[in-house]
A and B are shown apart, each in its own frame.
Chain A
Amino acid sequence: MDNHLFLPILMPLIGAALAVVAGQRRMLARTIVLLATLANLGYGTWLLWLVDAEGRQATQSGDWAAPFGITLVADGLSALMLIVAALLMLTTLIYSFATLDGDQERFFYYPLLLALLAGVSGAFITGDLFNLYVWFEVMLVASFGLLTLGGSRGQLEGGLKYVVLNLIGSTSFLIGAGLIYGVAGTLNMAHLGERLTTIQEPSLVTAIAGLFLFAFGAKAAIFPLFFWLPTSYHTPPVAVTAIFSGLMTKVGVYSLYRVFGLIFPNELARFAPLILTLAGLTMVIGVIGAVAQTDIRRILSFHIVSQIGYAIMGLGLASVAGLAAGILFIAHVMIVKTALFFIGGAAERIYGTAELKKMGGLAKREPLLATFWLIGILSLAGIPPLSGFFGKLALLQAGVAQQAWLITGVAAGVSILTLFSMLKIWNEVFWKKAYTDVSQLPRVPAGLMIPGAVLALASVALGLGAAPLADYSALAAGQAFDVSGYVVDVCGVAGCDAAATTVRQENTQ
Chain B
Amino acid sequence: MYDSIVLRTVARFMLPLLFLLSVFMLIRGHNLPGGGFVGGLLAASAIILQIIAFGPDYARQAIPVSHLQVAATGVVFTALWGLPGLLTGQPYMTAFWLPEPIPGIGKIGTPVLFDIGVYLTVIGVTTQLAFILAEEPLFYPMRKKATPSEPVAPEA
Contact = CB atoms under 8 A, between A and B. Distances in A.
Contacts of A13: 75, 79
A134 interface: no
Interface in A1-35: 1, 3, 6, 10, 13-14, 16-21, 23
Interface in B43-98: 66, 68-69, 71-73, 75-76, 79-80, 82, 85-86, 89-95
A63 B110 CA distance: 14
Contacts of A19: 72
Contact of A61 (B66, B68, B91): B91
Contacts of A63: 85, 90-91, 93-94
Question: Which of B66, B68, B72, B73 has most A Cβ within 10 Å?
Answer: B72
A474 B80 CA distance: 38
A60 interface: yes
A14 B68 CA distance: 15
A17 B91 contact: no
A59 B79 contact: no
Contacts of B75: 13, 16-17, 20
A3 B91 contact: yes
A61 B114 CA distance: 15
B66 to A, nearest CB: 7
Which of under 10, 10 to 19, 20 to 34, or 35 or more describes the interface residues of B? 20 to 34
Nearest to A151: B154
Interface string A74-106: 000000000000000000000000000000000
Contact of A14 (B80, B85, B92, B93): B80
A416 to B, nearest CB: 49
Contacts, number: 60
Interface string A298-327: 000000000000000000000000000000
A3 B89 contact: yes
A182 interface: no
Question: Which of A16, A21, A111 has most B Cβ within 10 Å?
Answer: A21
Nearest to A16: B75
A223 to B, nearest CB: 39
Interface string A455-492: 00000000000000000000000000000000000000
Interface string A111-123: 1000000000000
A115 to B, nearest CB: 10
B72 A18 contact: yes
Interface residues of A, number: 20
A21 B89 contact: no
Interface in B87-143: 89-95
A21 B91 contact: no
Contacts of B86: 3, 6
Question: Which of A16, A19, A20, A59 has most B Cβ within 10 Å?
Answer: A20
Contacts of A18: 72, 76
A442 interface: no
A67 to B, nearest CB: 15
A111 B66 CA distance: 16
A6 B76 contact: no
B69 A6 contact: no
A6 B72 contact: no
B93 to A, nearest CB: 4
A60 B79 CA distance: 16
A61 B81 CA distance: 13
A14 B66 CA distance: 18
A61 B72 contact: no
A184 to B, nearest CB: 25
A13 B81 CA distance: 13
B12 to A, nearest CB: 30
A60 B76 contact: no
Nearest to A115: B75
B91 A20 contact: no
A259 B66 CA distance: 43
Contacts of A62: 82, 85, 91-95
Contact of A10 (B69, B72, B89, B92): B92
Contacts of B85: 62-63
Contacts of B80: 14
Contacts of B95: 62
A23 B94 CA distance: 31
Contacts of B79: 10, 13-14, 17
B91 A23 contact: no
Nearest to A18: B76
A2 to B, nearest CB: 9
B1 to A, nearest CB: 27
B92 A21 contact: no
Nearest to A19: B72
A426 to B, nearest CB: 41
Nearest to B69: A21
B72 A59 contact: no
B91 A59 contact: yes
A274 to B, nearest CB: 40
A3 B92 CA distance: 7
A137 to B, nearest CB: 16
B96 to A, nearest CB: 11
A6 B82 CA distance: 10
B90 A20 contact: no
Interface of A: 1, 3, 6, 10, 13-14, 16-21, 23, 59-63, 108, 111
25 contacts: A3-B86, A3-B89, A3-B91, A3-B92, A6-B82, A6-B86, A14-B76, A14-B79, A17-B73, A17-B75, A17-B76, A18-B72, A19-B72, A20-B69, A20-B72, A21-B69, A21-B73, A21-B76, A59-B91, A61-B93, A62-B82, A62-B93, A62-B95, A63-B90, A63-B93
6 tightest A-B contacts by CB?
A20-B72, A17-B75, A6-B92, A62-B93, A63-B94, A17-B76
Given A17-B73, A59-B91, 13 more contacts: A1-B91, A3-B86, A3-B92, A6-B91, A10-B79, A14-B80, A16-B72, A17-B72, A20-B68, A21-B76, A61-B92, A63-B85, A63-B94
